[in-house]
A and B are shown apart, each in its own frame.
Chain A
Amino acid sequence: MKRLIRLNVNDKIYEIAVEPNRTLADVIREEIGLTGTKKGCEVGECGTCTVILDGKTVNSCLVLAVQADGKTILTIEGLETDQGLHPIQQSFVEKGAVQCGFCTSGMILSAKSLLDQNPDADEKEIRSAISGNLCRCTGYQKIVEAIASVKDRGPIS
Protein backbone atom coordinates (compact mmCIF):
# COMPACT_ATOMS: atom_id res chain seq x y z
CA MET A 1 0.00 0.00 0.00
CA LYS A 2 1.27 3.46 -0.89
CA ARG A 3 2.18 5.87 1.86
CA LEU A 4 2.18 9.62 1.79
CA ILE A 5 5.59 11.02 2.67
CA ARG A 6 6.91 14.53 2.97
CA LEU A 7 10.45 15.35 1.91
CA ASN A 8 12.31 18.62 2.04
CA VAL A 9 14.58 18.41 -0.98
CA ASN A 10 16.89 21.35 -1.65
CA ASP A 11 14.60 23.61 0.42
CA LYS A 12 11.47 22.62 -1.45
CA ILE A 13 8.72 20.52 0.11
CA TYR A 14 7.45 17.49 -1.80
CA GLU A 15 4.47 15.38 -0.74
CA ILE A 16 4.56 12.09 -2.56
CA ALA A 17 2.68 8.80 -2.35
CA VAL A 18 5.22 5.97 -2.52
CA GLU A 19 5.28 2.19 -2.28
CA PRO A 20 7.39 1.06 0.72
CA ASN A 21 9.77 -0.81 -1.58
CA ARG A 22 10.95 2.34 -3.40
CA THR A 23 14.36 3.61 -2.43
CA LEU A 24 15.13 7.25 -1.80
CA ALA A 25 17.36 7.21 -4.90
CA ASP A 26 14.43 6.07 -7.06
CA VAL A 27 12.05 8.65 -5.65
CA ILE A 28 14.51 11.52 -6.07
CA ARG A 29 15.17 10.54 -9.68
CA GLU A 30 11.80 9.33 -10.87
CA GLU A 31 9.17 11.15 -8.79
CA ILE A 32 10.95 14.41 -8.07
CA GLY A 33 12.86 14.37 -11.34
CA LEU A 34 16.27 15.35 -10.01
CA THR A 35 18.56 13.10 -12.01
CA GLY A 36 21.84 14.50 -10.72
CA THR A 37 21.68 11.71 -8.15
CA LYS A 38 22.97 8.69 -10.08
CA LYS A 39 22.41 4.99 -9.65
CA GLY A 40 25.43 2.75 -10.20
CA CYS A 41 25.93 -0.44 -8.23
CA GLU A 42 22.71 -0.02 -6.18
CA VAL A 43 24.22 -1.89 -3.23
CA GLY A 44 26.14 0.85 -1.43
CA GLU A 45 29.54 0.31 -2.98
CA CYS A 46 29.96 3.02 -5.62
CA GLY A 47 28.58 6.16 -3.97
CA THR A 48 27.07 7.68 -7.12
CA CYS A 49 23.71 7.95 -5.31
CA THR A 50 25.17 9.99 -2.42
CA VAL A 51 22.83 12.60 -0.92
CA ILE A 52 23.03 14.57 2.31
CA LEU A 53 20.21 13.38 4.56
CA ASP A 54 19.61 15.49 7.70
CA GLY A 55 23.19 16.70 7.44
CA LYS A 56 24.82 13.31 6.82
CA THR A 57 26.02 11.77 3.58
CA VAL A 58 24.36 8.45 2.81
CA ASN A 59 23.92 6.02 -0.08
CA SER A 60 20.35 6.86 -1.12
CA CYS A 61 20.07 3.42 -2.79
CA LEU A 62 20.11 1.88 0.70
CA VAL A 63 17.46 4.13 2.24
CA LEU A 64 13.78 3.39 1.82
CA ALA A 65 11.91 6.51 0.76
CA VAL A 66 9.39 5.88 3.55
CA GLN A 67 12.27 6.05 6.03
CA ALA A 68 13.16 9.52 4.80
CA ASP A 69 9.68 10.85 5.62
CA GLY A 70 9.95 14.25 7.32
CA LYS A 71 13.66 14.58 6.60
CA THR A 72 15.75 17.19 4.85
CA ILE A 73 17.71 16.18 1.78
CA LEU A 74 20.37 17.99 -0.19
CA THR A 75 21.15 16.74 -3.70
CA ILE A 76 23.71 18.04 -6.14
CA GLU A 77 21.05 20.30 -7.69
CA GLY A 78 20.78 22.12 -4.35
CA LEU A 79 24.36 23.39 -4.40
CA GLU A 80 24.23 25.87 -7.23
CA THR A 81 22.82 29.28 -6.29
CA ASP A 82 21.80 32.44 -8.17
CA GLN A 83 25.42 33.49 -7.83
CA GLY A 84 26.46 30.46 -9.84
CA LEU A 85 28.20 27.20 -9.14
CA HIS A 86 29.14 26.27 -5.60
CA PRO A 87 32.90 26.78 -4.99
CA ILE A 88 33.43 23.00 -4.89
CA GLN A 89 31.64 22.58 -8.23
CA GLN A 90 33.68 25.45 -9.67
CA SER A 91 36.89 23.90 -8.43
CA PHE A 92 36.03 20.50 -9.97
CA VAL A 93 35.52 22.20 -13.33
CA GLU A 94 38.71 24.25 -13.12
CA LYS A 95 40.93 21.38 -11.99
CA GLY A 96 39.64 18.91 -14.57
CA ALA A 97 38.21 16.69 -11.85
CA VAL A 98 35.18 15.91 -14.01
CA GLN A 99 35.50 13.38 -16.79
CA CYS A 100 32.50 11.20 -17.56
CA GLY A 101 30.72 12.93 -14.68
CA PHE A 102 28.95 9.90 -13.27
CA CYS A 103 30.66 9.96 -9.87
CA THR A 104 30.83 13.76 -9.70
CA SER A 105 27.59 14.48 -7.83
CA GLY A 106 28.46 12.04 -5.08
CA MET A 107 32.08 13.16 -4.90
CA ILE A 108 31.08 16.79 -4.53
CA LEU A 109 28.51 16.05 -1.82
CA SER A 110 31.03 13.95 0.14
CA ALA A 111 33.53 16.80 -0.26
CA LYS A 112 30.97 19.35 0.91
CA SER A 113 30.16 17.32 3.99
CA LEU A 114 33.88 17.10 4.82
CA LEU A 115 34.66 20.79 4.25
CA ASP A 116 31.59 21.92 6.20
CA GLN A 117 32.94 20.07 9.24
CA ASN A 118 36.63 20.55 8.58
CA PRO A 119 37.55 23.41 6.22
CA ASP A 120 41.26 22.70 6.80
CA ALA A 121 41.11 19.02 5.85
CA ASP A 122 44.44 17.64 4.67
CA GLU A 123 45.00 15.25 1.80
CA LYS A 124 44.63 12.15 3.97
CA GLU A 125 41.32 13.40 5.36
CA ILE A 126 40.11 14.24 1.86
CA ARG A 127 40.99 10.77 0.56
CA SER A 128 39.24 9.19 3.51
CA ALA A 129 36.11 11.36 3.09
CA ILE A 130 35.65 10.31 -0.55
CA SER A 131 36.56 6.69 0.07
CA GLY A 132 32.93 5.64 -0.39
CA ASN A 133 32.78 7.22 -3.86
CA LEU A 134 34.30 5.30 -6.75
CA CYS A 135 35.63 6.96 -9.92
CA ARG A 136 36.63 5.00 -13.01
CA CYS A 137 38.16 7.83 -15.06
CA THR A 138 40.35 10.22 -13.15
CA GLY A 139 42.53 8.16 -10.87
CA TYR A 140 41.31 10.43 -8.03
CA GLN A 141 44.33 12.75 -8.14
CA LYS A 142 42.51 15.65 -9.79
CA ILE A 143 39.50 15.16 -7.57
CA VAL A 144 41.68 15.34 -4.48
CA GLU A 145 43.45 18.43 -5.86
CA ALA A 146 40.12 20.07 -6.64
CA ILE A 147 38.85 19.52 -3.09
CA ALA A 148 42.16 20.60 -1.54
CA SER A 149 42.18 23.83 -3.52
CA VAL A 150 38.67 24.78 -2.39
CA LYS A 151 39.78 25.13 1.16
CA ASP A 152 42.27 27.83 0.20
CA ARG A 153 39.36 30.04 -0.76
CA GLY A 154 38.21 30.47 2.80
CA PRO A 155 34.94 29.35 4.33
CA ILE A 156 32.27 28.01 2.03
CA SER A 157 28.68 29.14 2.12
Chain B
Amino acid sequence: MLLPHFEFHEPTTVSEACEIMGRLREKARPIAGGTDLIVNMKKNLIRPDHVVSLAKIDDLKGIVRENGLLEIGACVTAAEIAGSDAVEKKFAALAQGARVLGSPLIRNLATISGNVVSARPAADLPPPLMAYGARAVLMKTSGERSVDLNDFFKAPGKTVMDPDEILTRIVIEAPQGHYGDSYVKLGLRQTFEISLVNVAAFISLDGSDGPISKARVILGSVGPTPIRSQSAEDVLGGQMPSEPLFARAGEAAAGDAQPIDDFRGSAEYRRDMVAVLTRRALNMALKRAGSR
Protein backbone atom coordinates (compact mmCIF):
# COMPACT_ATOMS: atom_id res chain seq x y z
CA MET B 1 0.00 0.00 0.00
CA LEU B 2 1.53 3.25 -1.10
CA LEU B 3 1.18 6.54 0.63
CA PRO B 4 0.41 9.50 -1.64
CA HIS B 5 3.15 12.10 -1.90
CA PHE B 6 3.22 14.96 0.56
CA GLU B 7 5.60 17.52 1.96
CA PHE B 8 6.80 16.86 5.49
CA HIS B 9 7.23 19.55 8.13
CA GLU B 10 8.82 19.08 11.50
CA PRO B 11 8.35 22.16 13.68
CA THR B 12 10.00 22.18 17.12
CA THR B 13 7.72 24.74 18.79
CA VAL B 14 3.95 25.13 19.03
CA SER B 15 4.08 28.61 17.52
CA GLU B 16 6.04 27.33 14.54
CA ALA B 17 3.47 24.56 14.07
CA CYS B 18 0.63 27.09 14.29
CA GLU B 19 2.34 29.32 11.75
CA ILE B 20 2.59 26.41 9.28
CA MET B 21 -1.03 25.35 9.87
CA GLY B 22 -2.20 28.96 9.57
CA ARG B 23 -0.48 29.26 6.19
CA LEU B 24 -1.52 25.90 4.72
CA ARG B 25 -4.89 25.30 6.48
CA GLU B 26 -6.93 22.55 4.69
CA LYS B 27 -3.89 21.51 2.64
CA ALA B 28 -2.10 20.30 5.76
CA ARG B 29 -2.76 17.73 8.47
CA PRO B 30 -0.93 17.39 11.75
CA ILE B 31 0.44 13.94 12.54
CA ALA B 32 0.86 12.78 16.14
CA GLY B 33 1.07 8.97 16.39
CA GLY B 34 -0.08 8.43 12.81
CA THR B 35 -2.21 5.37 13.56
CA ASP B 36 -5.31 7.02 12.11
CA LEU B 37 -3.77 9.41 9.63
CA ILE B 38 -1.45 6.93 7.92
CA VAL B 39 -4.18 4.29 7.65
CA ASN B 40 -6.58 6.84 6.13
CA MET B 41 -3.91 8.07 3.73
CA LYS B 42 -3.06 4.52 2.67
CA LYS B 43 -6.75 3.87 2.05
CA ASN B 44 -6.87 7.09 0.04
CA LEU B 45 -9.55 8.58 2.27
CA ILE B 46 -7.50 11.73 2.81
CA ARG B 47 -4.72 13.23 0.70
CA PRO B 48 -3.09 16.15 2.46
CA ASP B 49 -0.38 17.93 0.44
CA HIS B 50 1.48 18.62 3.67
CA VAL B 51 1.94 16.60 6.84
CA VAL B 52 3.03 18.47 9.95
CA SER B 53 4.69 16.30 12.58
CA LEU B 54 4.08 17.26 16.20
CA ALA B 55 6.54 14.71 17.58
CA LYS B 56 9.52 17.06 17.98
CA ILE B 57 7.63 19.66 20.03
CA ASP B 58 8.67 19.18 23.66
CA ASP B 59 5.81 21.33 25.00
CA LEU B 60 3.33 18.71 23.76
CA LYS B 61 4.84 15.91 25.85
CA GLY B 62 4.37 14.76 29.39
CA ILE B 63 1.68 14.37 32.03
CA VAL B 64 1.71 17.05 34.73
CA ARG B 65 -0.29 17.15 37.96
CA GLU B 66 -0.29 20.43 39.82
CA ASN B 67 -2.65 22.98 41.35
CA GLY B 68 -5.47 20.47 41.26
CA LEU B 69 -5.19 19.98 37.51
CA LEU B 70 -4.06 17.06 35.41
CA GLU B 71 -2.57 18.22 32.12
CA ILE B 72 -1.87 15.67 29.41
CA GLY B 73 0.20 16.86 26.45
CA ALA B 74 -1.10 16.22 22.94
CA CYS B 75 1.65 13.73 22.11
CA VAL B 76 1.24 11.57 25.22
CA THR B 77 0.57 8.00 24.10
CA ALA B 78 -2.08 5.57 25.30
CA ALA B 79 0.73 3.41 26.72
CA GLU B 80 2.04 6.36 28.75
CA ILE B 81 -1.44 7.11 30.09
CA ALA B 82 -2.00 3.44 30.96
CA GLY B 83 1.33 3.34 32.81
CA SER B 84 1.02 6.63 34.67
CA ASP B 85 0.60 6.49 38.46
CA ALA B 86 -0.86 10.00 38.50
CA VAL B 87 -3.61 8.84 36.11
CA GLU B 88 -4.18 5.46 37.75
CA LYS B 89 -4.66 6.88 41.25
CA LYS B 90 -7.10 9.70 40.55
CA PHE B 91 -8.41 9.02 37.05
CA ALA B 92 -8.93 5.27 36.96
CA ALA B 93 -11.56 5.43 34.18
CA LEU B 94 -9.07 7.13 31.86
CA ALA B 95 -6.41 4.54 32.68
CA GLN B 96 -8.97 1.84 31.87
CA GLY B 97 -9.75 3.44 28.52
CA ALA B 98 -6.06 3.70 27.64
CA ARG B 99 -5.41 0.06 28.57
CA VAL B 100 -8.02 -1.27 26.13
CA LEU B 101 -7.15 0.94 23.16
CA GLY B 102 -5.98 -1.14 20.17
CA SER B 103 -3.08 -3.47 20.87
CA PRO B 104 0.21 -3.02 22.75
CA LEU B 105 1.81 -2.01 19.42
CA ILE B 106 -0.89 0.57 18.69
CA ARG B 107 -0.83 1.92 22.26
CA ASN B 108 2.88 2.72 21.90
CA LEU B 109 2.06 5.04 18.97
CA ALA B 110 -1.51 6.27 19.46
CA THR B 111 -1.77 9.62 21.24
CA ILE B 112 -4.50 11.29 23.26
CA SER B 113 -4.81 14.18 20.79
CA GLY B 114 -5.14 11.86 17.81
CA ASN B 115 -7.79 9.84 19.63
CA VAL B 116 -9.78 12.97 20.45
CA VAL B 117 -9.34 14.86 17.15
CA SER B 118 -10.14 11.86 14.93
CA ALA B 119 -13.60 11.88 16.59
CA ARG B 120 -14.42 8.23 16.01
CA PRO B 121 -17.73 7.34 17.64
CA ALA B 122 -16.16 4.26 19.28
CA ALA B 123 -12.93 5.89 20.47
CA ASP B 124 -11.85 4.80 23.95
CA LEU B 125 -10.52 7.99 25.51
CA PRO B 126 -13.30 10.56 24.93
CA PRO B 127 -15.97 8.92 27.17
CA PRO B 128 -13.81 8.83 30.31
CA LEU B 129 -12.44 12.30 29.56
CA MET B 130 -15.98 13.66 29.15
CA ALA B 131 -17.04 12.00 32.39
CA TYR B 132 -14.47 14.16 34.24
CA GLY B 133 -15.49 17.28 32.31
CA ALA B 134 -12.08 17.47 30.61
CA ARG B 135 -11.25 20.38 28.33
CA ALA B 136 -9.23 20.50 25.12
CA VAL B 137 -6.83 23.42 24.75
CA LEU B 138 -6.70 24.57 21.13
CA MET B 139 -4.11 26.89 19.66
CA LYS B 140 -3.67 28.86 16.45
CA THR B 141 -1.69 31.94 15.50
CA SER B 142 -4.47 34.28 16.64
CA GLY B 143 -4.61 32.74 20.11
CA GLU B 144 -5.71 29.98 22.43
CA ARG B 145 -9.14 28.69 23.49
CA SER B 146 -10.30 25.89 25.71
CA VAL B 147 -13.34 23.75 24.85
CA ASP B 148 -15.24 21.36 27.13
CA LEU B 149 -15.07 17.95 25.44
CA ASN B 150 -18.81 17.66 26.03
CA ASP B 151 -19.17 20.40 23.36
CA PHE B 152 -16.30 19.27 21.15
CA PHE B 153 -17.66 16.50 18.88
CA LYS B 154 -20.04 17.27 16.00
CA ALA B 155 -20.28 14.07 13.93
CA PRO B 156 -18.06 11.10 13.04
CA GLY B 157 -14.70 12.65 12.19
CA LYS B 158 -16.02 16.18 12.82
CA THR B 159 -15.20 18.47 15.72
CA VAL B 160 -15.46 22.17 16.53
CA MET B 161 -11.80 22.66 15.60
CA ASP B 162 -10.75 25.06 12.85
CA PRO B 163 -8.51 23.56 10.15
CA ASP B 164 -5.55 25.61 11.36
CA GLU B 165 -5.97 24.76 15.04
CA ILE B 166 -3.74 22.42 17.03
CA LEU B 167 -4.86 20.60 20.14
CA THR B 168 -2.01 21.22 22.56
CA ARG B 169 -3.22 19.51 25.72
CA ILE B 170 -6.12 18.01 27.60
CA VAL B 171 -6.83 19.49 31.01
CA ILE B 172 -8.83 17.78 33.74
CA GLU B 173 -9.76 19.35 37.04
CA ALA B 174 -8.94 16.78 39.71
CA PRO B 175 -12.18 15.77 41.41
CA GLN B 176 -12.33 16.21 45.19
CA GLY B 177 -13.88 14.24 48.02
CA HIS B 178 -15.75 10.98 47.71
CA TYR B 179 -15.90 10.32 43.99
CA GLY B 180 -15.73 7.22 41.86
CA ASP B 181 -15.15 6.68 38.17
CA SER B 182 -15.09 3.80 35.74
CA TYR B 183 -15.04 2.80 32.08
CA VAL B 184 -16.50 -0.36 30.59
CA LYS B 185 -15.97 -1.47 27.00
CA LEU B 186 -17.90 -4.26 25.33
CA GLY B 187 -16.41 -5.80 22.22
CA LEU B 188 -16.64 -9.14 20.51
CA ARG B 189 -13.00 -9.89 21.22
CA GLN B 190 -10.55 -8.77 23.88
CA THR B 191 -8.05 -6.96 21.69
CA PHE B 192 -8.38 -4.84 18.59
CA GLU B 193 -12.02 -4.38 19.00
CA ILE B 194 -14.17 -1.53 17.89
CA SER B 195 -16.52 -1.47 20.83
CA LEU B 196 -20.16 -2.38 20.44
CA VAL B 197 -20.91 -0.17 23.39
CA ASN B 198 -18.77 1.65 25.90
CA VAL B 199 -19.79 3.55 28.98
CA ALA B 200 -17.91 5.90 31.29
CA ALA B 201 -19.42 6.83 34.65
CA PHE B 202 -18.51 9.37 37.31
CA ILE B 203 -20.28 9.98 40.60
CA SER B 204 -19.42 12.06 43.61
CA LEU B 205 -21.09 11.57 46.96
CA ASP B 206 -22.05 14.04 49.64
CA GLY B 207 -19.98 12.55 52.47
CA SER B 208 -18.75 8.97 52.47
CA ASP B 209 -22.23 7.42 52.59
CA GLY B 210 -24.34 10.34 51.48
CA PRO B 211 -26.46 10.92 48.39
CA ILE B 212 -25.05 11.45 44.92
CA SER B 213 -24.15 15.11 44.54
CA LYS B 214 -22.97 14.87 40.95
CA ALA B 215 -23.22 12.20 38.25
CA ARG B 216 -21.93 11.90 34.72
CA VAL B 217 -22.75 9.08 32.32
CA ILE B 218 -21.18 9.05 28.85
CA LEU B 219 -22.12 6.51 26.19
CA GLY B 220 -19.76 5.62 23.34
CA SER B 221 -20.33 3.72 20.07
CA VAL B 222 -24.08 4.22 20.22
CA GLY B 223 -24.37 7.50 18.33
CA PRO B 224 -22.47 9.65 15.83
CA THR B 225 -20.48 11.10 18.75
CA PRO B 226 -20.08 10.06 22.38
CA ILE B 227 -23.35 10.96 24.12
CA ARG B 228 -23.76 12.48 27.55
CA SER B 229 -26.82 10.78 29.01
CA GLN B 230 -28.78 13.60 30.61
CA SER B 231 -31.64 11.24 31.51
CA ALA B 232 -29.37 8.92 33.49
CA GLU B 233 -27.80 11.87 35.27
CA ASP B 234 -31.28 13.19 36.17
CA VAL B 235 -32.21 9.82 37.66
CA LEU B 236 -29.05 9.76 39.81
CA GLY B 237 -28.78 13.35 41.03
CA GLY B 238 -29.55 13.84 44.76
CA GLN B 239 -30.44 10.15 45.31
CA MET B 240 -28.88 7.58 47.62
CA PRO B 241 -26.81 5.15 45.54
CA SER B 242 -28.39 1.70 45.30
CA GLU B 243 -28.66 -1.24 42.94
CA PRO B 244 -32.27 -0.39 41.89
CA LEU B 245 -31.31 3.26 41.32
CA PHE B 246 -28.42 2.20 39.07
CA ALA B 247 -30.74 -0.14 37.17
CA ARG B 248 -33.15 2.77 36.57
CA ALA B 249 -30.26 4.97 35.45
CA GLY B 250 -29.26 2.19 33.03
CA GLU B 251 -32.77 2.12 31.52
CA ALA B 252 -32.72 5.90 31.20
CA ALA B 253 -29.32 5.77 29.47
CA ALA B 254 -30.64 3.15 27.03
CA GLY B 255 -33.34 5.65 26.09
CA ASP B 256 -30.71 8.28 25.24
CA ALA B 257 -28.64 5.95 23.04
CA GLN B 258 -28.96 6.16 19.25
CA PRO B 259 -27.44 2.84 18.21
CA ILE B 260 -27.18 1.44 14.71
CA ASP B 261 -27.71 -2.08 13.35
CA ASP B 262 -24.65 -3.68 11.78
CA PHE B 263 -22.88 -7.02 11.48
CA ARG B 264 -21.40 -6.63 14.97
CA GLY B 265 -24.76 -6.41 16.67
CA SER B 266 -28.32 -5.18 16.32
CA ALA B 267 -29.45 -1.80 17.55
CA GLU B 268 -31.76 -3.56 19.99
CA TYR B 269 -28.89 -5.57 21.47
CA ARG B 270 -26.74 -2.48 21.76
CA ARG B 271 -29.52 -0.60 23.51
CA ASP B 272 -29.96 -3.44 26.02
CA MET B 273 -26.22 -3.47 26.60
CA VAL B 274 -26.19 0.26 27.31
CA ALA B 275 -28.51 -0.45 30.24
CA VAL B 276 -26.35 -3.33 31.50
CA LEU B 277 -23.00 -1.56 31.10
CA THR B 278 -24.29 1.66 32.65
CA ARG B 279 -25.42 -0.27 35.72
CA ARG B 280 -22.04 -2.04 35.93
CA ALA B 281 -20.06 1.15 35.41
CA LEU B 282 -22.04 2.89 38.17
CA ASN B 283 -21.50 -0.01 40.55
CA MET B 284 -17.78 0.06 39.88
CA ALA B 285 -17.70 3.84 40.33
CA LEU B 286 -19.54 3.49 43.66
CA LYS B 287 -17.02 0.93 44.85
CA ARG B 288 -14.19 3.31 44.05
CA ALA B 289 -16.01 6.19 45.76
CA GLY B 290 -16.32 4.04 48.86
CA SER B 291 -12.59 3.52 49.04
CA ARG B 292 -11.77 7.23 48.80
A-to-B contact residues, CB < 8 Å = 1, 3, 19-23, 42-45, 47, 50, 53, 56-59, 61-64, 66-67, 110, 113, 128-129, 131-133
Q: Are A23 and B38 in contact (CB under 8 A)?
A: yes
If A42-B1, A128-B104 are given as contacts, then 15 extra A-B residue pairs at C-beta distance below 8 Å, sorted by A number, are A1-B7, A3-B8, A21-B3, A42-B42, A45-B192, A47-B105, A53-B108, A59-B105, A61-B38, A62-B39, A62-B109, A66-B53, A131-B192, A132-B104, A132-B106
* Interface core residue of A19, A58, A113 (most chain B CB under 10 Å): A58
Say yes or no for B34: interface residue by CB 8 A criterion: yes
Q: Are B103 and A62 in contact (CB under 8 A)?
A: no
Q: Are A58 and B6 in contact (CB under 8 A)?
A: no
Say yes or no for B208: interface residue by CB 8 A criterion: no
Q: Are A129 and B104 in contact (CB under 8 A)?
A: yes
Q: Are B1 and A43 in contact (CB under 8 A)?
A: yes
- A-B interface, 3 closest residue pairs, ranked by CB to CB distance from nearest: A132-B103, A20-B8, A131-B191
| Alpha-carbon distance between A53 and B108 when the two chains are bound, in angstroms | 10
* Interchain CB contact (< 8 A) of B6 among A21, A45, A110: A21
Q: Are B106 and A23 in contact (CB under 8 A)?
A: no
- Assess A21 versus B103: contact at CB under 8 Å? Given A43-B42, A59-B109, A62-B34: no
Contacts of B7 in A (CB 8 A): 1, 20
| Alpha-carbon distance between A131 and B51 when the two chains are bound, in angstroms | 30
Q: Are A23 and B108 in contact (CB under 8 A)?
A: no
Interface of A is mostly: mixed
- Assess A44 versus B106: contact at CB under 8 Å? Given A21-B6, A62-B39, A66-B8: yes
Closest to B34 in A: A62
Q: Are A59 and B106 in contact (CB under 8 A)?
A: yes
**Whole-angstrom distance from the CB of B255 to the nearest CB of chain A?**
35
Closest to B3 in A: A21
| Alpha-carbon distance between A42 and B39 when the two chains are bound, in angstroms | 8
Say yes or no for B210: interface residue by CB 8 A criterion: no
Q: Are B5 and A19 in contact (CB under 8 A)?
A: yes
Contacts of A56 in B (CB 8 A): 79, 108
| Alpha-carbon distance between A64 and B109 when the two chains are bound, in angstroms | 12
| Alpha-carbon distance between A132 and B53 when the two chains are bound, in angstroms | 25
* Interchain CB contact (< 8 A) of A58 among B4, B31, B42, B105: B105
Contacts of B2 in A (CB 8 A): 21
